[in-house]
Protein backbone atom coordinates (compact mmCIF):
# COMPACT_ATOMS: atom_id res chain seq x y z
CA UNK A 1 0.00 0.00 0.00
CA UNK A 2 1.47 3.39 -0.98
CA UNK A 3 2.02 6.09 1.66
CA UNK A 4 -0.69 8.40 0.23
CA UNK A 5 -3.16 5.55 -0.04
CA UNK A 6 -2.45 4.57 3.56
CA UNK A 7 -3.17 8.12 4.72
CA UNK A 8 -6.45 8.29 2.75
CA UNK A 9 -7.45 4.90 4.14
CA UNK A 10 -6.78 6.03 7.71
CA UNK A 11 -8.63 9.35 7.24
CA UNK A 12 -11.66 7.50 5.84
CA UNK A 13 -11.51 5.15 8.82
CA UNK A 14 -11.43 7.93 11.44
CA UNK A 15 -14.26 9.88 9.76
CA UNK A 16 -16.35 6.70 10.11
CA UNK A 17 -18.99 7.31 7.40
CA UNK A 18 -16.61 7.22 4.40
CA UNK A 19 -14.66 4.31 5.87
CA UNK A 20 -17.54 2.10 7.03
CA UNK A 21 -19.84 2.67 4.04
CA UNK A 22 -19.41 1.23 0.57
CA UNK A 23 -17.25 4.23 -0.35
CA UNK A 24 -14.49 2.97 1.93
CA UNK A 25 -14.74 -0.51 0.50
CA UNK A 26 -14.59 0.73 -3.08
CA UNK A 27 -11.62 3.00 -2.35
CA UNK A 28 -9.63 0.27 -0.63
CA UNK A 29 -10.40 -2.70 -2.84
CA UNK A 30 -8.38 -1.15 -5.69
CA UNK A 31 -5.18 -2.12 -3.94
CA UNK A 32 -6.15 -5.71 -3.15
CA UNK A 33 -4.77 -8.75 -4.94
CA UNK A 34 -7.50 -11.31 -5.66
CA UNK A 35 -7.79 -14.39 -3.46
CA UNK A 36 -6.89 -17.42 -5.52
CA UNK A 37 -9.72 -19.75 -6.58
CA UNK A 38 -9.10 -23.16 -5.07
CA UNK A 39 -6.91 -21.74 -2.31
CA UNK A 40 -9.13 -23.31 0.36
CA UNK A 41 -9.59 -26.67 -1.35
CA UNK A 42 -9.46 -29.49 1.22
CA UNK A 43 -10.22 -27.13 4.11
CA UNK A 44 -13.34 -27.24 6.21
CA UNK A 45 -14.94 -24.02 7.48
CA UNK A 46 -17.62 -23.51 10.11
CA UNK A 47 -19.62 -20.26 9.93
CA UNK A 48 -22.12 -19.39 12.66
CA UNK A 49 -25.23 -17.39 11.84
CA UNK A 50 -24.77 -18.47 8.22
CA UNK A 51 -28.42 -18.46 7.19
CA UNK A 52 -28.52 -14.73 6.42
CA UNK A 53 -26.49 -11.56 5.86
CA UNK A 54 -22.74 -11.48 6.37
CA UNK A 55 -22.62 -15.09 7.57
CA UNK A 56 -24.24 -16.39 4.40
CA UNK A 57 -21.97 -14.17 2.29
CA UNK A 58 -18.93 -15.45 4.20
CA UNK A 59 -19.97 -19.05 3.59
CA UNK A 60 -20.41 -18.27 -0.10
CA UNK A 61 -17.00 -16.58 -0.29
CA UNK A 62 -15.29 -19.51 1.41
CA UNK A 63 -17.08 -22.02 -0.84
CA UNK A 64 -15.96 -20.02 -3.90
CA UNK A 65 -12.36 -20.56 -2.76
CA UNK A 66 -13.00 -24.31 -2.56
CA UNK A 67 -13.67 -24.79 1.17
CA UNK A 68 -16.17 -27.31 2.44
CA UNK A 69 -18.60 -25.20 4.49
CA UNK A 70 -20.71 -25.96 7.55
CA UNK A 71 -23.59 -23.51 7.97
CA UNK A 72 -24.38 -23.20 11.66
CA UNK A 73 -27.94 -21.92 12.03
CA UNK A 74 -30.79 -22.08 14.50
CA UNK A 75 -33.49 -21.97 11.82
CA UNK A 76 -33.35 -24.97 9.50
CA UNK A 77 -35.38 -23.28 6.75
CA UNK A 78 -33.00 -20.32 6.54
CA UNK A 79 -30.10 -22.76 6.52
CA UNK A 80 -31.61 -24.78 3.66
CA UNK A 81 -32.28 -21.62 1.63
CA UNK A 82 -28.68 -20.44 2.16
CA UNK A 83 -27.31 -23.87 1.22
CA UNK A 84 -29.37 -23.91 -1.99
CA UNK A 85 -28.17 -20.40 -2.90
CA UNK A 86 -24.53 -21.34 -2.37
CA UNK A 87 -24.93 -24.62 -4.27
CA UNK A 88 -26.47 -22.71 -7.19
CA UNK A 89 -23.67 -20.11 -7.21
CA UNK A 90 -20.80 -22.58 -6.73
CA UNK A 91 -21.39 -25.81 -8.64
CA UNK A 92 -19.94 -28.77 -6.74
CA UNK A 93 -19.75 -26.89 -3.42
CA UNK A 94 -19.90 -29.10 -0.34
CA UNK A 95 -22.28 -27.37 2.08
CA UNK A 96 -23.71 -28.85 5.25
CA UNK A 97 -26.31 -27.42 7.66
CA UNK A 98 -26.00 -27.85 11.43
CA UNK A 99 -28.41 -26.58 14.03
CA UNK A 100 -26.90 -24.80 17.01
CA UNK A 101 -28.01 -21.99 19.29
CA UNK A 102 -24.87 -20.06 20.21
CA UNK A 103 -26.51 -18.68 23.35
CA UNK A 104 -27.01 -22.17 24.83
CA UNK A 105 -24.03 -23.98 26.29
CA UNK A 106 -25.74 -27.33 25.88
CA UNK A 107 -26.40 -26.67 22.19
CA UNK A 108 -22.79 -25.52 21.65
CA UNK A 109 -21.46 -28.64 23.39
CA UNK A 110 -23.65 -30.90 21.26
CA UNK A 111 -22.52 -29.18 18.07
CA UNK A 112 -18.82 -29.26 18.96
CA UNK A 113 -18.97 -32.97 19.83
CA UNK A 114 -20.62 -33.77 16.49
CA UNK A 115 -17.99 -32.14 14.28
CA UNK A 116 -15.31 -34.42 12.82
CA UNK A 117 -12.71 -31.84 11.78
CA UNK A 118 -12.29 -28.18 10.89
CA UNK A 119 -9.69 -25.66 9.75
CA UNK A 120 -11.58 -22.36 9.89
CA UNK A 121 -14.06 -21.18 12.52
CA UNK A 122 -16.01 -17.95 11.91
CA UNK A 123 -17.95 -16.55 14.86
CA UNK A 124 -20.46 -14.42 13.00
CA UNK A 125 -23.79 -15.00 14.80
CA UNK A 126 -25.03 -11.72 16.25
CA UNK A 127 -28.07 -10.25 17.91
CA UNK A 128 -29.33 -6.82 19.00
CA UNK A 129 -32.30 -7.29 21.35
CA UNK A 130 -34.73 -4.53 22.34
CA UNK A 131 -34.96 -5.63 25.96
CA UNK A 132 -32.71 -7.34 28.46
CA UNK A 133 -33.35 -11.05 28.31
CA UNK A 134 -31.55 -13.99 29.86
CA UNK A 135 -30.77 -17.29 28.24
CA UNK A 136 -31.65 -20.71 29.63
CA UNK A 137 -28.17 -20.66 31.22
CA UNK A 138 -29.02 -17.39 33.02
CA UNK A 139 -26.76 -15.06 30.98
CA UNK A 140 -27.66 -11.79 29.27
CA UNK A 141 -28.42 -12.60 25.64
CA UNK A 142 -25.80 -10.54 23.78
CA UNK A 143 -23.08 -11.62 26.22
CA UNK A 144 -24.09 -15.25 25.76
CA UNK A 145 -24.27 -15.02 21.94
CA UNK A 146 -21.23 -12.86 21.21
CA UNK A 147 -18.86 -13.92 23.97
CA UNK A 148 -19.73 -17.06 25.93
CA UNK A 149 -20.93 -19.17 22.99
CA UNK A 150 -17.88 -18.40 20.81
CA UNK A 151 -15.51 -18.84 23.77
CA UNK A 152 -16.94 -22.25 24.66
CA UNK A 153 -17.20 -23.41 21.05
CA UNK A 154 -13.61 -22.43 20.26
CA UNK A 155 -12.25 -24.17 23.33
CA UNK A 156 -14.22 -27.35 22.71
CA UNK A 157 -13.01 -27.38 19.09
CA UNK A 158 -9.41 -26.65 20.07
CA UNK A 159 -8.13 -30.22 19.57
CA UNK A 160 -9.75 -30.40 16.14
CA UNK A 161 -8.38 -26.98 15.16
CA UNK A 162 -4.95 -27.96 16.48
CA UNK A 163 -4.97 -30.94 14.11
CA UNK A 164 -5.27 -28.58 11.11
CA UNK A 165 -2.15 -27.44 9.25
CA UNK A 166 -3.28 -23.77 9.30
CA UNK A 167 -6.14 -23.26 11.77
CA UNK A 168 -7.81 -19.86 11.92
CA UNK A 169 -10.59 -18.37 14.04
CA UNK A 170 -12.35 -15.12 13.12
CA UNK A 171 -14.57 -13.09 15.47
CA UNK A 172 -16.96 -10.78 13.61
CA UNK A 173 -17.18 -7.73 15.86
CA UNK A 174 -18.50 -4.24 15.06
CA UNK A 175 -17.14 -0.71 14.70
CA UNK A 176 -19.76 0.17 17.34
CA UNK A 177 -17.40 -1.36 19.90
CA UNK A 178 -15.23 1.79 19.69
CA UNK A 179 -17.86 3.62 21.78
CA UNK A 180 -17.55 1.23 24.72
CA UNK A 181 -14.98 0.35 27.34
CA UNK A 182 -14.58 -3.23 28.52
CA UNK A 183 -17.36 -3.59 31.09
CA UNK A 184 -15.61 -6.24 33.15
CA UNK A 185 -17.33 -4.94 36.29
CA UNK A 186 -20.80 -5.70 34.86
CA UNK A 187 -20.48 -8.18 31.98
CA UNK A 188 -24.12 -9.27 32.27
CA UNK A 189 -25.42 -5.67 32.07
CA UNK A 190 -27.29 -5.85 35.37
CA UNK A 191 -26.62 -2.20 36.33
CA UNK A 192 -28.33 0.87 34.87
CA UNK A 193 -30.96 1.21 32.15
CA UNK A 194 -30.61 -1.52 29.56
CA UNK A 195 -30.24 -0.44 25.95
CA UNK A 196 -29.92 -3.17 23.32
CA UNK A 197 -27.53 -1.13 21.17
CA UNK A 198 -25.28 -0.53 24.20
CA UNK A 199 -25.34 -4.21 25.18
CA UNK A 200 -24.48 -5.07 21.59
CA UNK A 201 -21.53 -2.63 21.48
CA UNK A 202 -20.24 -3.70 24.90
CA UNK A 203 -20.15 -7.35 23.90
CA UNK A 204 -18.59 -6.48 20.54
CA UNK A 205 -15.84 -4.73 22.58
CA UNK A 206 -15.44 -7.98 24.52
CA UNK A 207 -14.95 -9.90 21.27
CA UNK A 208 -12.08 -7.58 20.38
CA UNK A 209 -10.58 -8.15 23.84
CA UNK A 210 -10.94 -11.91 23.33
CA UNK A 211 -8.78 -12.02 20.19
CA UNK A 212 -5.38 -11.46 21.90
CA UNK A 213 -6.42 -13.56 24.90
CA UNK A 214 -7.37 -16.55 22.75
CA UNK A 215 -4.42 -15.95 20.49
CA UNK A 216 -2.11 -16.38 23.47
CA UNK A 217 -4.05 -19.34 24.86
CA UNK A 218 -3.81 -21.23 21.56
CA UNK A 219 -0.39 -20.05 20.37
CA UNK A 220 1.25 -23.42 21.11
CA UNK A 221 -1.30 -25.07 18.78
CA UNK A 222 -0.63 -22.58 15.99
CA UNK A 223 -4.26 -21.40 16.00
CA UNK A 224 -4.56 -17.86 14.66
CA UNK A 225 -7.34 -15.77 16.22
CA UNK A 226 -8.51 -12.59 14.50
CA UNK A 227 -11.18 -10.00 15.30
CA UNK A 228 -12.60 -7.76 12.59
CA UNK A 229 -15.46 -5.42 11.80
CA UNK A 230 -17.32 -5.46 8.51
CA UNK A 231 -18.24 -1.76 8.25
CA UNK A 232 -21.92 -1.12 7.55
CA UNK A 233 -23.60 -3.73 5.37
CA UNK A 234 -27.20 -4.03 4.24
CA UNK A 235 -28.43 -7.19 5.94
CA UNK A 236 -31.68 -8.47 7.48
CA UNK A 237 -30.10 -7.84 10.88
CA UNK A 238 -29.52 -4.13 10.24
CA UNK A 239 -32.92 -3.63 8.56
CA UNK A 240 -34.73 -5.42 11.40
CA UNK A 241 -32.83 -4.16 14.46
CA UNK A 242 -31.94 -0.63 13.33
CA UNK A 243 -34.75 0.43 10.95
CA UNK A 244 -34.08 4.18 11.37
CA UNK A 245 -30.36 3.79 10.66
CA UNK A 246 -31.16 1.50 7.74
CA UNK A 247 -33.59 4.00 6.20
CA UNK A 248 -31.10 6.87 6.50
CA UNK A 249 -28.03 5.04 5.25
CA UNK A 250 -29.24 2.33 2.89
CA UNK A 251 -27.83 3.97 -0.26
CA UNK A 252 -24.36 4.02 1.33
CA UNK A 253 -24.42 0.56 2.87
CA UNK A 254 -22.13 -2.16 1.62
CA UNK A 255 -23.49 -5.40 0.28
CA UNK A 256 -23.27 -8.39 2.60
CA UNK A 257 -20.48 -9.76 0.34
CA UNK A 258 -18.50 -6.55 0.80
CA UNK A 259 -19.03 -6.77 4.56
CA UNK A 260 -17.82 -10.38 4.47
CA UNK A 261 -14.70 -9.65 2.40
CA UNK A 262 -12.26 -9.26 5.30
CA UNK A 263 -13.62 -12.38 7.03
CA UNK A 264 -12.93 -14.44 3.91
CA UNK A 265 -9.54 -12.75 3.49
CA UNK A 266 -8.52 -13.48 7.10
CA UNK A 267 -9.48 -17.12 6.55
CA UNK A 268 -7.70 -17.51 3.23
CA UNK A 269 -4.79 -15.12 2.76
CA UNK A 270 -1.25 -16.44 2.92
CA UNK A 271 0.90 -16.08 4.85
CA UNK A 272 -1.54 -16.09 7.76
CA UNK A 273 -2.07 -12.63 9.28
CA UNK A 274 -0.50 -11.96 12.69
CA UNK A 275 -2.76 -13.43 15.34
CA UNK A 276 -4.60 -11.41 18.00
CA UNK A 277 -5.29 -8.22 16.04
CA UNK A 278 -8.38 -6.26 15.00
CA UNK A 279 -9.02 -5.85 11.26
CA UNK A 280 -11.19 -3.88 8.89
CA UNK A 281 -10.94 -3.88 5.10
CA UNK A 282 -7.85 -6.11 5.10
CA UNK A 283 -5.84 -3.81 7.37
CA UNK A 284 -5.08 -4.05 11.10
CA UNK A 285 -6.84 -1.21 12.93
CA UNK A 286 -6.50 0.36 16.37
CA UNK A 287 -8.64 -1.21 19.08
CA UNK A 288 -9.30 2.14 20.79
CA UNK A 289 -10.02 5.59 19.37
CA UNK A 290 -11.52 7.33 22.42
CA UNK A 291 -9.58 8.21 25.58
CA UNK A 292 -12.50 6.95 27.70
CA UNK A 293 -12.38 3.31 26.56
CA UNK A 294 -8.87 2.27 27.60
CA UNK A 295 -8.66 -0.88 29.71
CA UNK A 296 -6.36 -1.94 32.52
CA UNK A 297 -4.71 -5.36 32.76
CA UNK A 298 -6.91 -5.91 35.85
CA UNK A 299 -10.09 -5.30 33.81
CA UNK A 300 -8.92 -7.70 31.11
CA UNK A 301 -8.13 -10.31 33.73
CA UNK A 302 -11.51 -9.85 35.45
CA UNK A 303 -13.30 -10.19 32.10
CA UNK A 304 -11.35 -13.36 31.31
CA UNK A 305 -11.93 -14.89 34.76
CA UNK A 306 -15.66 -14.18 34.67
CA UNK A 307 -16.19 -15.44 31.11
CA UNK A 308 -14.11 -18.59 31.42
CA UNK A 309 -15.70 -19.58 34.71
CA UNK A 310 -19.18 -18.87 33.26
CA UNK A 311 -18.62 -21.55 30.61
CA UNK A 312 -16.47 -23.85 32.74
CA UNK A 313 -13.19 -23.49 30.83
CA UNK A 314 -10.12 -24.94 32.50
CA UNK A 315 -7.37 -22.33 33.16
N1 LIG B 1 -24.46 -5.59 8.93
C2 LIG B 1 -23.64 -4.72 9.50
O3 LIG B 1 -23.55 -3.55 9.09
C4 LIG B 1 -22.79 -5.13 10.66
C5 LIG B 1 -21.97 -4.16 11.24
C6 LIG B 1 -21.15 -4.52 12.28
C7 LIG B 1 -21.13 -5.83 12.71
N8 LIG B 1 -21.96 -6.75 12.15
C9 LIG B 1 -21.91 -8.12 12.67
O10 LIG B 1 -21.98 -9.04 11.62
C11 LIG B 1 -22.57 -10.26 12.08
C12 LIG B 1 -23.67 -10.66 11.12
O13 LIG B 1 -24.68 -9.67 11.17
P14 LIG B 1 -25.65 -9.36 9.95
O15 LIG B 1 -25.64 -7.90 9.77
O16 LIG B 1 -25.36 -10.26 8.82
O17 LIG B 1 -27.06 -9.68 10.64
P18 LIG B 1 -28.08 -10.89 10.46
O19 LIG B 1 -28.51 -10.98 9.05
O20 LIG B 1 -29.14 -10.67 11.49
O21 LIG B 1 -27.20 -12.14 10.83
C22 LIG B 1 -27.03 -12.59 12.13
C23 LIG B 1 -27.16 -14.08 12.12
O24 LIG B 1 -26.86 -14.58 13.43
C25 LIG B 1 -27.82 -15.58 13.72
N26 LIG B 1 -27.97 -15.74 15.16
C27 LIG B 1 -28.35 -14.82 16.07
N28 LIG B 1 -28.38 -15.36 17.29
C29 LIG B 1 -28.01 -16.66 17.15
C30 LIG B 1 -27.85 -17.74 18.04
N31 LIG B 1 -28.11 -17.60 19.35
N32 LIG B 1 -27.45 -18.93 17.57
C33 LIG B 1 -27.21 -19.09 16.25
N34 LIG B 1 -27.34 -18.10 15.35
C35 LIG B 1 -27.74 -16.91 15.79
C36 LIG B 1 -29.11 -15.08 13.09
O37 LIG B 1 -30.00 -16.14 12.94
P38 LIG B 1 -31.59 -15.92 12.86
O39 LIG B 1 -31.84 -15.53 11.45
O40 LIG B 1 -32.14 -17.24 13.26
O41 LIG B 1 -31.92 -14.82 13.82
C42 LIG B 1 -28.59 -14.52 11.78
O43 LIG B 1 -28.52 -15.53 10.79
C44 LIG B 1 -23.07 -9.98 13.48
O45 LIG B 1 -22.17 -10.51 14.43
C46 LIG B 1 -23.08 -8.48 13.57
O47 LIG B 1 -22.87 -8.02 14.89
C48 LIG B 1 -22.79 -6.43 11.13
Please give the angle made by the CA atoms of 245, 14 and 258, to the nearest 5 degrees. 55
* 253/258 Cα distance (integer angstroms): 9
* 262/278 Cα distance (integer angstroms): 11
C-alpha distances out from residue 172 to 38, 159, 211, Å = 24, 22, 11
Write down the pLDDT at residue 31: 82
Instruction: For residue 3, name the pLDDT band (cuts at 50, 70, 90).
Output: confident
* 99/177 Cα distance (integer angstroms): 28
Pick 307 or 16 by higher pLDDT: 307
Q: Is 68 helix (H, G, I), strand (E, B) or coil?
A: strand
Instruction: Exactly one of 194, 200, 218, 306 is catalytic; name it.
Output: 200
Q: Is the CB of 232 under 6 A from ligand 1?
A: yes
Q: Is the CB of 52 under 6 A from ligand 1?
A: yes
Q: Is the CB of 66 under 6 A from ligand 1?
A: no
Q: Could you tell me whether strands 120-123 and 44-48 are parallel, antiparallel, or unpaired per DSSP bridges?
A: parallel
Write down the pLDDT at residue 16: 77
Write down the pLDDT at residue 48: 98
Mean pLDDT within 178-199 = 97
Residue with CA at minimum distance from ligand 1 atom 1: 233
Write down the pLDDT at residue 1: 62
Q: Is the CB of 139 under 6 A from ligand 1?
A: no
Pick 58 or 19 by higher pLDDT: 58
Residue with CA at minimum distance from ligand 1 atom 8: 174
**CA of residue 126 to ligand 1 center, whole Å:** 4
Instruction: For residue 162, name the pLDDT band (cuts at 50, 70, 90).
Output: very high
Contacts with 218 (C-beta within 8 Å, 6 or more apart), sequence order? 158, 161, 162, 169, 225
Give the residue from 35, 42, 107 showing the smallest Cα distance to 69.
42
pLDDT tens, residue by residue, 252-287: 999 999 999 999 999 999 999 999 999 999 999 999
pLDDT tens, residue by residue, 100-118: 999 999 999 999 999 999 9
Instruction: For residue 244, name the pLDDT band (cuts at 50, 70, 90).
Output: confident
Atom of ligand 1 nearest to the CA of 101: 32
Write down the pLDDT at residue 17: 73
Q: Is the CB of 127 under 6 A from ligand 1?
A: yes
- For residue 9, pLDDT over 80 is answered with no
All structural domains of the chain with their residue ranges: 8-311
Is there a catalytic annotation at residue 189? no
Q: Which CATH superfamily is domain 8-311 in?
A: NAD(P)-binding Rossmann-like Domain (3.40.50.720)
**CA of residue 58 to ligand 1 center, whole Å:** 12
Instruction: For residue 7, name the pLDDT band (cuts at 50, 70, 90).
Output: confident
Q: Is the CB of 229 under 6 A from ligand 1?
A: yes
- For residue 11, pLDDT over 80 is answered with no
Residue with CA at minimum distance from ligand 1 atom 18: 237
Report phi then psi at 43, rounded to 5. Answer: -105, 145
Please name the residue ranges forming H helices in 146-272.
149-162, 196-217, 236-241, 243-249, 256-268
Contact by Cβ (8 Å): 122, 267: yes
Amino acid sequence: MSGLFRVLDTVADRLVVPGYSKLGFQLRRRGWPPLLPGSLRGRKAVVTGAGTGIGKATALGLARLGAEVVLVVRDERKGAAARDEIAAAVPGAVVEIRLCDLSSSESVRRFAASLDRLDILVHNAGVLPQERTETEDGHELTFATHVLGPLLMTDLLRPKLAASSDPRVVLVSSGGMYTQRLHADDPEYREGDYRGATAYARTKRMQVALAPLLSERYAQDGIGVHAMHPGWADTPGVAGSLPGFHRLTRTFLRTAEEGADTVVWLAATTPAPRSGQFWHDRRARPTHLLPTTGETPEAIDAFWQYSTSAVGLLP
